[in-house]
Structure 1
Amino acid sequence: MARTFEILVLNQISASGLKRLPAPRYHVGKEVTQPDAVLLRSADMHTMAIPASVQAVARAGAGTNNIPVPALSARGVPVFNAPGGNANAVKELVLTGMLLAARNVPAALQFVAGLDTAAADLDQVVEDGKKAFAGYELAGHTLGIVGLGKVGALVADAAIKLGMDVLGYDPEITVDAAWSLPSQVRRATSVAEVLKSGHFVTLHVPLVKATRDLVNADNIALMRRGAVLLNFSRDGVVNEQAVLGALAGKHLGRYVCDFPSAALAGNDGVIALPHLGASTREAEDNCAVMVAQQLRDYLEHGNVANAVNFPSVSMARESAWRVAIANANVPNMLGQISTTMARAGLNIHNMVNKSRGDVAYTLVDVDSPVSAQVLAELAAIAGVLAVRYLPQPTDGATSDPD
């Protein structure tokens, strides 16, 4: 019989994603007390007591700042996300931000909201007032992009189609991302070069130690006078005090972001949106479906895709008995795992092992059932973080998400 996986949901998750976790194989709810996995969006897990039963955490979105990733890594628990699931939604909001800034839309809307529509001279007031909101077109201007992943590539493509010149920088660009970039994107060699060149500069990087205050007082000073800085990435990537200083000095034209704060409030040079980047039905559906499929493949088969703290590992089933092992990335782990199985008379049919940073992950298919004693011996190996036994269900249950 196939076991039932218990999934704790911390936020409202798209029904399209939840359909990929069907009963009776999955029990999904907000009141699950001993979950095999946690599914969430923006809920803060840092202060949460995470049950020992948790084998995986999946966020239906890109960023994982609300999840204690290092602590979960130390327990051998992968943290999945949905990179690119909301990419089109963010791209469209970035374009919106550029147009809001270039055409002075927020101020124009405030002007219209304050009109006395009953006044006899309304038409003349409108005609006279609109002169204060004259803007400029995007075509012919340079857009600098820092971060050329899925969002950055989509923004680049859209900007080129709008007639903009695009300059991009990403020191860690992947081969797949490079292939997806339009050929017209010019390559910058540093963040400073992008900031110097762009009439608009948009940021699409994760918030990690290396990117905190990536844009600061020193490099904002390099920007063109009147340039527009857009941040739909994470608030900590930009130093707010540096932005406020540059706005006060009329060096920076506009700061457009998706992260309102007390410091930014009331500043006419700031266009702050209420974290709308992924707030579309389509993005929520895409992200939920992606992480549900990843979670299901991991729980049932041990395969890992799009985990922020584990290597990507996938192995087709070649036997009915599979063991998944997460361990510290130290020498002789494979030797100890193989020796333990051989000593128990288990023949290894297939094996794959990969590492990422301090974590390594191994999938092993064997030709006969694995006893609880062998699993305990594997778990007792110094450096092993988690051991999962994944026998193929005997009742015909399938992992096909459709």
Structure 2
Amino acid sequence: MVFSVKTYNNINQIGLKELGNHFQIDGDLAENPDAYIIRSQNLHDTVFPENLKAIARAGAGTNNIPVDKATEKGIVVFNTPGANANAVKEAVLASILLSARDYIAANTWVNKLSGDDVPKQIEAGKKQFAGSEIAGKTLGVIGLGAIGARIANDAYRLGMKVYGYDPYVSIEAAWNISHHVKRVSDLKEIFENCDYITVHVPLTPDTKGTFNADAFSLMQKGTTIINFARAELVENDALFDALETGVVKRYITDFGTEELLNKPNVTVFPHVGGSTGEAELNCAIMAAQTIRRFMETGEIVNSVNFPRVQQVLSAPYRITLINKNVPNIVASISTAVSDFNINIDNIINRSKGEYAYTLLDLDETDKSKIDELVAKFEASDNIVRVRLIKGK
């Protein structure tokens, strides 16, 4: 069986080779594909084709994807957490160093000099860019996932004191965080104690406006804020007031808006934190591997709208079901299988919110019976999408 994949944006071609020989990329079937692989393409106004089963975002954020709409249609949305983590980590650490020594302003100043006495002018004016060292300063890291954990660990190695805040940190991430990082349970401790604060959390109703007037009121004068996560985590009006009073010494962000441009002590980068050749390759590889795994086995890993579901496929046939998370759904699935006198080799059901995902492995070689069962599932009001996968 050949699966069709439509790509948007410039997806690394070497990474796409991970799809293997059973996938057609941007070919004749691309108008009604099985899957999308995208980067920054905005899909909010896109009409999803009927055949679309999966969307893989080659990156961590999925704000450009209408996740709720996809879920209702039984489309699994994947991201690639950690694939560009090292690139963003290096960008944040570079930002800390650049701001500590004010290198960007120093470069701008020196390039405006002219005349035969430029060396003398430099010596006379360089004191304004003396700056400070980061060793001994305190860094607050909000969000200790793949990116935040790396920043926390490396900042400690550079001699900084590090505070970390993340009430939802995974067990896997926690194992990777140095014991030298002071874990705090209240954001106030970050705001009150840190010379530098960097944020690495997704944009949600709870995190929107994390940096607001109340937050800035807790900070010591001369704090540097670094935002390589999402623009909306910072309330700009409150930020401008904090810059005016000197509470915030510098704001560095990877998300440019018109009101941030050409503002004193605001440094804006053109959303390039994760844009290295290595990161783009890693994202493409992970996205391709995720899509291949899902299409060939039905397993879900790194989905933002459906639970993680893994099960070795050893039965003749596997049916995957995206179903509404309603009472007795597993019992009704089992009953339907029993009605066709088919034996269940293995079944796993996991829920997330209003929907659930089921892997149903069947010890049955009669394809006609399997097809009838699939048809029955497709007729159910509580089942959104049905797929049949042949075992090896």
1:30 CA drift (Å):
7.2
State TM-score, norm by structure 1: 0.94
Of 231-240 and 370-379, more deviation after overlay is shown by 370-379
2:260 alignment partner, SS class:
coil
- 2:380 paired residue number: 381
1:152-163 matches, within 5 Å, as 152-163=148-159
1:224 alignment partner, SS class:
coil
Q: Does 1:347 align with 2:343?
A: yes
CA contact (8 A) 1:244 1:264 kept: no
CA contact (8 A) 2:314 2:391 kept: no
- CA distance in 1: counterparts of 2:326 and 2:180, whole angstroms: 44
- CA distance in 1: counterparts of 2:259 and 2:218, whole angstroms: 23
2:40 alignment partner, SS class:
coil
CA contact (8 A) 1:60 1:82 kept: yes
- 2:38 paired residue number: 40
- CA distance in 2: counterparts of 1:97 and 1:132, whole angstroms: 19
1:298-343 deviation per Cα after TM superposition (whole angstroms, max 9, x unaligned): 0111000000011000100121200000111111111111111111
- 2:271 paired residue number: 275
2:154 corresponds to which letter in structure 1? A
Q: Does 1:184 align with 2:180?
A: yes
Q: Does 1:26 align with 2:18?
A: no
Candidates 303, 314, 323, aligned match of 1:318: 314
- 2:68 paired residue number: 70
1:80-113 deviation per Cα after TM superposition (whole angstroms, max 9, x unaligned): 0000001100000000111111111111011122
Of 370-379 and 85-94, more deviation after overlay is shown by 370-379
1:180 CA drift (Å):
0.7
CA contact (8 A) 1:327 1:385 kept: yes
1:120-176 deviation per Cα after TM superposition (whole angstroms, max 9, x unaligned): 211110111111111000100000011001111100111001000000110111111
CA contact (8 A) 1:352 1:363 kept: yes
Candidates 72, 92, 95, aligned match of 2:90: 92
- CA distance in 2: counterparts of 1:266 and 1:129, whole angstroms: 23
1:381 CA drift (Å):
2.1
2:97 corresponds to which letter in structure 1? L
- CA distance in 1: counterparts of 2:70 and 2:116, whole angstroms: 67
1:84 alignment partner, SS class:
coil
- 2:162 paired residue number: 166
1:369-392 deviation per Cα after TM superposition (whole angstroms, max 9, x unaligned): 353332121122232111111113
State TM-score, norm by structure 2: 0.97
1:371 alignment partner, SS class:
helix
- 2:136 paired residue number: 140
1:161-198 deviation per Cα after TM superposition (whole angstroms, max 9, x unaligned): 10000001101111111111000011112112111111
- 2:190 paired residue number: 194
- 1:4 paired residue number: 2
- CA distance in 2: counterparts of 1:209 and 1:299, whole angstroms: 32
1:389 corresponds to which letter in structure 2? L
1:326 alignment partner, SS class:
strand
Structure 1: segments with no counterpart, 5+ residues: 394-402
1:41 CA drift (Å):
0.4
Q: Does 1:209 align with 2:205?
A: yes
CA contact (8 A) 2:76 2:305 kept: yes
Candidates 292, 305, 309, aligned match of 2:301: 305
2:121 corresponds to which letter in structure 1? V
Q: Does 1:127 align with 2:126?
A: no
2:109 alignment partner, SS class:
helix
1:251 CA drift (Å):
1.6
Q: Does 1:234 align with 2:230?
A: yes
1:77 corresponds to which letter in structure 2? I
CA contact (8 A) 1:8 1:37 kept: yes
1:16 CA drift (Å):
2.5
Q: Does 1:79 align with 2:77?
A: yes
1:14-59 deviation per Cα after TM superposition (whole angstroms, max 9, x unaligned): 1222101233x11101771010001100000001111111000000
1:388 alignment partner, SS class:
strand
Of 327-336 and 59-68, more deviation after overlay is shown by 327-336
CA contact (8 A) 2:3 2:23 kept: yes
CA contact (8 A) 1:328 1:358 kept: yes
- CA distance in 1: counterparts of 2:264 and 2:108, whole angstroms: 11
- 2:243 paired residue number: 247
CA contact (8 A) 2:208 2:233 kept: yes
Structure 2: segments with no counterpart, 5+ residues: none
CA contact (8 A) 2:203 2:230 kept: yes
When the two chains are superposed, the root-mean-square deviation of aligned CA atoms in Å is: 1.2
1:225 alignment partner, SS class:
coil
1:365 CA drift (Å):
0.8
Of 193-202 and 370-379, more deviation after overlay is shown by 370-379
CA contact (8 A) 1:10 1:30 kept: no
